[in-house]
A and B are shown apart, each in its own frame.
Chain A
Amino acid sequence: MSPTQLEELQQATPVRPPFSLAELVRKRPETITFTILVGICIAVSIANPAFLQPSTLIDIGRASVVMGLFALGVFIILAAGGIDVSFTAIAAFTMYSMTVLVQSYFPGMPIAVILLLATGGGALLGVINGLLVHHLKVPSLIVTIGTQYLFRGFLLSFIGTVWIMSLPPQMGAFGRLPLLQFESANGATITLPFYFLVLPIAAVITWWILNRTLMGRAIFAVGGNANIASRLGYDLRKVHVFLFGYAGALAGLAGIIHVCANRQANPFDLVGTEINVIAAVVLGGAKITGGTGTVLGTMLGVLLIVVINSVLVLVGIPSTWQRLVVGVFILLAAAFFVTRQRKK
């Protein structure tokens, strides 16, 4: 190597490529989600300054918990190139069965055990999904459409269809347990419930699994190309069972939190909301074909959907227009995404 060449090399290293927006967007697609989110918040605050008050933040935080837990599960499956539409049925199944179980057989069961059992029950149903996806070798969309009907049908036929309006007291108390509480100007009490903490904890655990464990590598590898991943020695069966089991566990947890927060167990609840959750994950930058995405992006996607859904009245959009506006927003964000991502 001649000195001049060496000089050139030395010179070249410190020169960083000029900052490029396209590059940033390609590497971290969630910046788009973040920009849209901030943009909407600014626009709404201009339209109605009432948006800028702490209770808004708390309401949005509380409303994101159940959707956020669902979204983490969907994201991890999407990252591995699959899709799950049965998670709402898993949540409905575990939350209703748990409530019935506690109410009729173990009225004194502590709330920690209830949460653990619901999570475990959800994981079990998720594992059924995982085994079916792996052994039937059918696209996970088909399998989970089937299990959605199966779980929901089983719930409504064999466990019950009656709404439980008076929850066991420990569940009601958990739903009302405040993390933060203060009084607004008009004398209304504003509460950030304790169960809000579950979402950041679940997000950190999911991040850790995806970025710091061998399983995380395996998930992204399978999402990139399942055949190659399997030839590289990743055990596909293990990955599938883990994925769906983990998503099921999150769904079970989300279900029981939904019940505690809502103060009623309605077996007809939740199923039908899966599209919103999948939209949130995709808006968070995860590709529907798998192999990409981040936990942070997923959380931003959830916030985006929750914010859009919860500012329509504040901005004064009449009811007839609300669905139209939500649809337009989702399409715009998605279109923006796809065009930015294509410009590599």
Chain B
Amino acid sequence: MKTASKHILIAAATVAALMAGTAGTLMAQQKPVIATVVKISGIPWFDRMNTGVVAYQKANPDVVATQSGPATADAAQQLQIIQDLVAKGVNALAVVPMDPAVIEGTLKRAMDRGIVVVTHEADNQKNTQADVEAFDNADYGTALNARLAECMGNKGKWTTFVGSLGSRTHLQWVGAGEANAKKHPDMQLVDPNNESFDDANATYEKAKEILRKHPDIKGFQTSAGNDVLGVGRAIDEAGLSGKICLVGTGLPNPSADLLESGAITAIGFWDPQKAGMAMNAVAKLLLEKKPVTDGMDLGVEGYSKVTVKKGAGEGMLIVGNGMVLADKATYKQHMF
């Protein structure tokens, strides 16, 4: 009996010592933690962003940079992850919101606790200190349409696809595209703003229908990442590659086959790797209480001369020049 209690005592002492030890290491780790939270983890886009976070960590050993996100595209799950991180006491949050409105309250509470909050792809987020955008949405839409117009020879019927009518950025892109097309009176917009729901198959069916209704259509400008794949497949299967122009947001790796076959004229995108690095760079500046000024170089490619404006709320809106337009000849430089 006596020995048993002794054993227990020793065990308890060991556990206590171990716990003290862990607490000690935790206390010793005074490096600020910057937690990046993405919309969905595991999809190519945010895997690419993760490489940026990892690269940033390597280049800046004086901070701890991590990335996490929900397994499905679910705003509620993302909210849960942010709340957990706030409870854990991270120093900075770099969030790519699924739905900015859902996380407003939590981000406000985080800022009240002194946590630095940076967002991306959410220029309407109110409770953020800085929202980082890769480019000006109007400029991007104009650039896509200019490429489309060039391919179409500035004339003919064309149409637009958006992920959904609730997607603000997509509507900004096609809106700017329409404004650009007005410069060319022979370009005629038909049945605009088709919803694709970012589903390649649904987009394919819809593109087929448009090809049937307008056999003389000459151009498509698309917005969600999968739209070029759906429309591209419809053009490819109809044997119209090269006869119909298709310019839209897309990723180089998935679009490679259709770019090669000529079904996709050009894809536009921004590199999530650089966006992840830029968010972390801004978070670090804010942690160090350094100012972010107009024309500043964040030390990340595409963010070398950022524009700083007032954001939707108290914070600022930082706009980079990270737009990339790639076609058959150039897409291989950006394989992800």
Residues on A close to B: CB < 8 A?
48, 50, 53, 55-56, 59, 63, 153, 156-157, 161-163, 165-166, 176, 184-191, 258, 261-264, 266, 268-269, 309-311, 313-314, 316, 318-320, 322
Contacts and interface: CB of A to CB of B under 8 A. Distances in A.
Contacts of A316: 191
B233 A263 contact: yes
Interface in B190-221: 191-195, 199-201, 204-206, 208-213, 215-216
6 tightest A-B CB contacts, nearest first: A161-B42, A188-B238, A186-B215, A189-B239, A165-B254, A313-B209
A189 B205 contact: no
Of listed A268, A313, A316, residue having the most chain B CB within 10 A: A313
B14 interface: no
Contact of A189 (B47, B201, B213, B238): B238
Contact of A310 (B73, B193, B205, B233): B205
24 contacts: A50-B212, A59-B208, A59-B212, A63-B205, A156-B71, A157-B71, A163-B43, A163-B44, A165-B256, A186-B215, A187-B239, A187-B240, A187-B243, A188-B239, A264-B200, A264-B229, A266-B200, A268-B73, A269-B201, A309-B205, A310-B205, A313-B210, A314-B212, A319-B194
Contacts of B211: 188
B43 A161 contact: yes
A310 B209 contact: yes
B257 interface: yes
A314 B215 CA distance: 12
B84 interface: no
Nearest to B253: A165
A161 B193 CA distance: 29
A248 to B, nearest CB: 21
A48 B191 CA distance: 14
A176 to B, nearest CB: 8
Given A59-B209, A161-B42, A188-B240, 9 more contacts: A162-B42, A162-B47, A187-B239, A263-B257, A264-B229, A268-B43, A313-B209, A319-B192, A320-B193
Interface of B: 42-44, 47, 71-73, 162, 165, 191-195, 199-201, 204-206, 208-213, 215-216, 229, 233, 237-240, 243, 253-254, 256-257
Contact of A322 (B71, B195, B205): B195
A313 B43 CA distance: 31
A165 B260 CA distance: 14
Contacts of A156: 42, 71-72
Contacts of B208: 59
A189 B71 contact: no
A161 B72 CA distance: 10
A313 B214 CA distance: 10
Nearest to B255: A165
Contacts of A166: 257
A56 B215 CA distance: 13
Contacts of A261: 201
A29 to B, nearest CB: 28
A15 B201 CA distance: 55
A153 B229 CA distance: 26
B254 to A, nearest CB: 5
A6 to B, nearest CB: 64
Contacts of A264: 200, 229, 254
A185 B212 CA distance: 11
